[in-house]
Amino acid sequence: MSPVQTLFGSLSGGTTVTLAVLLPLFGTAFIGLFRARPNLREAATIVTGLLLFGLVLSLWPQIMAGENPRFVLSTPIPGIPLVLEVEPLGYLFSLVASFLWIVTSLYSIGYMRGHHEKNQTRFYLFFAIAISAAMGVAYSGNLFTLFLFYEVLTLCTFPLVTHHQTEKARRAGRVYLGILLSTSVGLQLLGIIWTYSLAGTLDFQVGGILDGHISARMVPVLLALFVFGVGKAAVMPFHRWLPAAMVAPTPVSALLHAVAVVKAGVFTILKVSVFIFGPELISGTGAADFLIWIAAATIILGSLVAFTKDNLKARLAYSTISQLSYIVLGALLANQWGIIGGGMHIVMHAFGKITLFFGAGAIMVAAHKTEISQMKGLGRSMPFTFGAFFVGALSIIGLPPAGGAWSKWFLGLGTLEAGELGLLAVLMVSSLLSLAYLLEIPLKAFFSKPDRPPEQEGIREAPLPSLIAMGITSLGTIGLFVFPEPFYRLMTMVVGG
Amino acid sequence: MSEHLPVLLVVIPLMAAPTAALLRWGRAAWGLATGTSWVVLAMALLILRRVQDEGVISYFLGGWAAPIGIEYRIDTVNAWVLMIVAAIGALVMPYARASFEREIQPSKIPLLYAGLLLCLTGLLGIAATGDVFNLFVFLEISSISAYALIAAGPDRRALHAAYKYLIMGSIGATFIVIGIGMMYAMTGTLNMADLAQRLPEVSSRTVSVAFAFLTVGISLKLALFPLHLWLLDAYTFAPSAVTVFLASTATKVAVYMLVRFFFSIFGPGFSLEVMAFHWVLLPLALIAVISASLTAIYQLNVKRLLAYSSVAQIGYMILGVSLASVTGLTAGLLHLFNHALIKGALFMAMGCVMYQVGSVRMEAMRGLGKKMPWTMAAFVLGGLSLIGVPGTVGFISKWYLVLAAVEAGMWVVAALVLVGSLMAVAYVWKVVEAAYFQEYKGEFEVRQAPISLLAPTWVLVAANLYFGVNATLTSGVATRAAEVLLGVGP
């Protein structure tokens, strides 16, 4: 009996699932209550995070036993309940999001105080709501519930993106909300309602619900409504919101725009591919043939644009756009390895990219530098930060000893299973590109001479909480290379292996 | 006692209205009006429950049977509408006290309560009666009291607004009474059930002309594009509480009249197959949705912005009706209720701003996110509901509407509905950006609105959220009402 089970063992599965969504909301009450006492306020965030992660962990035995704990919240429309249900793919997403929330909270304490940000209570409040929404996305039992939490996630991150309330933030907020809402309302919702009118249900079912209800001619159209309608997956041409969102404080970029929000997007596409269409329908009708190449184009173009960016966060944003399409590609290949690779990449990319963002934030707080060209020689004053950055970069590129190697391996297998050598080439080229644009940064920091040496005197490492957070995620990245097994097991359960 | 509920529902506020006018003290009139509105709500709920359990209620005024006497006939459709009107009335009355005291001369306040009660009487009467001439009488009661209420607005332009509404409203009422007269000439009855029976037997050109007169007259009353111009000034310049009341009830009752005439009296067969009204209304509704939403984006006065948005929302309701399927009608009827909640909440929030800042122009919103956090939070949530974000009532309406369009294979309509909600994002967000991204620059200190204004506002906001995640009740009733109108189902 592990301590986790002792603590939460008495709860039934359905209750645990519901609590996992509600717990961060209870946390907001304490965050609001302690608004005048920052230490207690942050303690409330961390305690909530730990409890949440404990709750999620306590579900592990049930998931492994093949049970899907389920809880019906209410019935908004007759026949379409608001329902939470955990299956292995959602469980994987929730594990990553809830764990990285704790780490990010730790990081935020260092960053927000080091950067003297205003309105910190509001920041932590909406952060907690965002995690609640992300858990809701992970545990949605049908497409209707997923859409609800998806939109809540869009809206509650708006105040985080526009945290500084400047003119620049206002304009970025418009792009953010404009693209995310118009794709979700204009395309995704139409797809959902269409699906409902065809299948008469929106439940996620193994093998999909659409088979036999839709003519082969219309499958590509409906699939396109979802792929483009899930704007959070940032498939081009609906990717502009992600670079715009970089005006946010760095912890927001780190957790939301490398983990929770964007992964909610690709997670939705995976869910739709596996549980709404079903792999057979997609591969049987060749529905994704055209969309796969859009994802491939996003992979290459994202990497190419990343090259041109001198601003570190902008470069990371375009790198994210490119990496997200790896997962979309896996979902659209809709074969066993593609889906496993896509799911694994949710985890691997999350750990790698959050480390990179933490690094970017640490540089900003400690050295007040945002442009890559200014970072020459900075590695000597901030060796730990750039070391962690290096490990994160390895994972994104897909090199051992970082976890990213596994997911790229499986995705490569997926392209071979589909017999698409061209796609394999795309993956390889993009990896090479990311090698160049990511490794440039630590190399410059460690091996180049600073342009104006005196300027860099007095720069020291970032605040301690931020360093601890970076340590955890970069070690995690290496750990995932050695122990990818739990996530691999979850993904094999998804594809029914 | 309980068998007299249908008539008491109308008689009680009718008696209370002159009493309120006689009370010289504003607070006393307020107490009477509030008490009355709550009694009315209780009765409306009892009626709705009875209709749900026992089916149609038929009540003969003075015990005179149908062809000679007036019948009050209440089925699921009008029980639903009665409940909406009564519920909004019961929330507006407590809200009105502080709002009137700030905006209206003390000596006129009792008269305004009398006006509100009369308007309530008229709207309830329209919904309750089963006699078309009686319906016309109540229509005039509600309209004339509405003209007076609008004219009482604090801005002098209110007089012009009321005058415009008076002219347009009178034309509408005249068209309606001409239509009714023609029907009477052809059938010799004014009872709705009798009309429904006899009209198919006498189908002639006169009936078609009557149909046309009624369509135009009612469209004027419900402000369907392009007959919506009176609504803009009326909503903008009326006293805040009056705007809340009219925006949430008056046009809804007009929509009810439309479906009652089209489906219950003329019958779906005649209206759809012979007159093909939906091919007339559908394009108008779509134009209303798109053009009014677009115009709303450019408004500099938030009440006017919301008024344009109302025109668009009426477009949604008529769109649902003109899809003429069970799902479409459900969408339309559901949106009657949902839009009352949405616009009620939004206009109430604007009333709070008017109370504290004295203006509802866009520049007056600057920095209010910080100065009046509860008011603006209510506005944001109401705005999200207007946009149709999932978890709010607006989403439920939009769900049914798009589903109905998809079922009918009208992809363009489905897409335009969604485009309309994206335009709503644009105009709601203009207010949000002013409130949260700009600093307050006024000279005097702005404080939080009083609790008597905030409480009703937040009741409506809470209802927006509650019926957004638990719409089994509302969509169940709306679906049953749609089935009643189309004559299908149990």
Band of residue B462 on the pLDDT scale cut at 50, 70, 90: very high
pLDDT of the residue at B253: 92
CB-CB neighbors (< 8 A) of B389 in chain A? 151, 155
Q: Identify the closest residue of chain B to A179 by CA–CA distance.
A: B422
pLDDT tens digits for range A323-352: 999 999 888 888 888 889 888 999 999 888
CA of B39 to nearest chain A CA: how many angstroms apart? 30
Mean pLDDT of B70-99: 90
Q: Identify the closest residue of chain B to A146 by CA–CA distance.
A: B390
Mean pLDDT of A282-296: 84
Partner A contacted by B396 (CB < 8 A): yes
CA distances from A478 to A49, A348, A403, B99, B404 (A): 23, 10, 6, 64, 52
CB-CB neighbors (< 8 A) of A83 in chain B? none
pLDDT tens digits for range B126-181: 999 988 999 999 999 999 999 999 998 888 888 999 999 999 999 999 999 999 99
Mean pLDDT of A256-263: 84
pLDDT of the residue at B489: 62
Percent of chain A with pLDDT over 70: 96
Sign of the CA dihedral B350, B353, B355, B360?
negative
CB-CB neighbors (< 8 A) of B406 in chain A? 190, 193-194, 197
Mean pLDDT of B291-300: 91
Return d(Cα B67, Cα A451) in angstroms, integer.
99
CA of B208 to nearest chain A CA: how many angstroms apart? 36
Return d(Cα A12, Cα A228) in angstroms, integer.
38
CB-CB neighbors (< 8 A) of A174 in chain B? 429
Q: Shortest CB distance from A196 goes to which of B403, B418, B476?
A: B403
State phi, psi for B341 to the nearest 5 degrees.
-65, -45
Q: Which of A135, A356, A104, A363 is nearest to A255 (CA)?
A: A104
CA of A172 to nearest chain B CA: how many angstroms apart? 12
Q: Shortest CB distance from B429 goes to which of A74, A177, A185?
A: A177
Residue type, B277: F
Return d(Cα A140, Cα A494) in angstroms, integer.
15
CB B370, CB B440: distance < 8 Å: yes
Strand bridging mode B71-74 / A70-77: unpaired
What six digits make up the tokens of B314? 């009426």
Inter-chain residue contact A78 with B414, CB threshold 8 Å:
no
What six digits make up the tokens of A394? 């390895």
In Å, how far from its chain's centre is CA A440?
24
Averaged confidence pLDDT in chain A? 85
CB-CB neighbors (< 8 A) of A177 in chain B? 425, 429
CA of A331 to nearest chain B CA: how many angstroms apart? 26
pLDDT of the residue at B409: 85
Q: Shortest CB distance from B399 goes to which of A77, A155, A178?
A: A77
pLDDT of the residue at A59: 84
CB-CB neighbors (< 8 A) of A171 in chain B? none
Contacting B residues, span 402-441, partner chain A, CB-CB under 8 Å: 402-403, 406-407, 414-415, 418-419, 421-422, 425, 429, 433, 436-437
pLDDT of the residue at A8: 58
Mean pLDDT of A143-148: 92
Averaged confidence pLDDT in chain B? 88
Inter-chain residue contact A193 with B406, CB threshold 8 Å:
yes
Q: Is the pLDDT of residue A3 over 60?
A: no
Mean pLDDT of B407-421: 89
Partner B contacted by A197 (CB < 8 A): yes
Contacting B residues, span 366-385, partner chain A, CB-CB under 8 Å: 384
Q: Shortest CB distance from A197 goes to which of B387, B398, B406?
A: B406
Partner B contacted by A181 (CB < 8 A): yes
Return d(Cα B299, Cα A233) in angstroms, integer.
34
pLDDT of the residue at A287: 78
B299/B277: higher pLDDT: B299
Answer whether the bond into residue A237 is a cis peptide, omega within 30°: yes
Total residue count of chain B as it appears in this document: 490
Partner B contacted by A190 (CB < 8 A): yes
Q: ipTM value of the model?
A: 0.85
Q: What letter would DSSP give residue A185?
A: I
Contacts with A131 (C-beta within 8 Å, 6 or more apart), sequence order: A24, A52, A97, A98, A101, A260
Contacts with B176 (C-beta within 8 Å, 6 or more apart), sequence order: B136, B139, B213, B214, B217, B218, B221
List beta partners, residue B71.
B60
Contacting A residues, span 112-171, partner chain B, CB-CB under 8 Å: 144, 147-148, 151-152, 155, 162, 165, 167, 169-170
Q: Shortest CB distance from B475 goes to which of A78, A151, A185?
A: A78
CA of B256 to nearest chain A CA: how many angstroms apart? 23
Q: Identify the closest residue of chain A to B432 by CA–CA distance.
A: A170
Inter-chain residue contact A73 with B384, CB threshold 8 Å:
no
pLDDT tens digits for range A153-199: 999 999 888 888 888 888 888 899 889 988 998 899 999 999 998 88
Percent of chain B with pLDDT over 70: 99
CA of A433 to nearest chain B CA: how many angstroms apart? 38
CA of B223 to nearest chain A CA: how many angstroms apart? 27
Strand bridging mode B57-60 / A80-85: unpaired
Inter-chain residue contact B415 with A82, CB threshold 8 Å:
no
Assign B222 to helix, strand or coil: coil
Mean pLDDT of B90-104: 88
Partner B contacted by A215 (CB < 8 A): no
CB-CB neighbors (< 8 A) of A151 in chain B? 389-391
Partner A contacted by B275 (CB < 8 A): no
Partner B contacted by A6 (CB < 8 A): no
State phi, psi for B64 to the nearest 5 degrees.
-80, 130
What six digits make up the tokens of A324? 């997200």
Band of residue A76 on the pLDDT scale cut at 50, 70, 90: confident
Q: Which of A156, A208, A202, A147 is nearest to A24 (CA)?
A: A156
Mean pLDDT of B459-486: 86
Q: Is the pLDDT of residue A1 over 70?
A: no
Band of residue B58 on the pLDDT scale cut at 50, 70, 90: confident
Return d(Cα A424, Cα A415) in angstroms, integer.
6
CA of A184 to nearest chain B CA: how many angstroms apart? 10
Inter-chain residue contact A193 with B414, CB threshold 8 Å:
yes
Contacting A residues, span 340-399, partner chain B, CB-CB under 8 Å: none
Mean pLDDT of A270-294: 86
Q: Shortest CB distance from B418 goes to which of A75, A148, A190?
A: A190
Q: Shortest CB distance from A76 goes to which of B388, B415, B470?
A: B470
Partner A contacted by B489 (CB < 8 A): no
pLDDT tens digits for range B14-41: 999 888 888 878 888 889 999 999 999 9
pLDDT of the residue at A4: 53
pLDDT tens digits for range B203-253: 678 888 988 999 999 999 888 888 888 888 888 898 989 999 998 999 899
Band of residue B286 on the pLDDT scale cut at 50, 70, 90: very high
Q: Shortest CB distance from A78 goes to which of B402, B429, B476?
A: B476
Inter-chain residue contact A197 with B469, CB threshold 8 Å:
no
pLDDT tens digits for range A396-454: 888 888 888 888 888 888 888 888 888 889 888 988 888 888 888 888 888 887 776 65
Mean pLDDT of A306-330: 89
pLDDT of the residue at A454: 55
Q: Is the pLDDT of residue A497 over 70?
A: no
Sign of the CA dihedral A403, A406, A412, A414?
negative
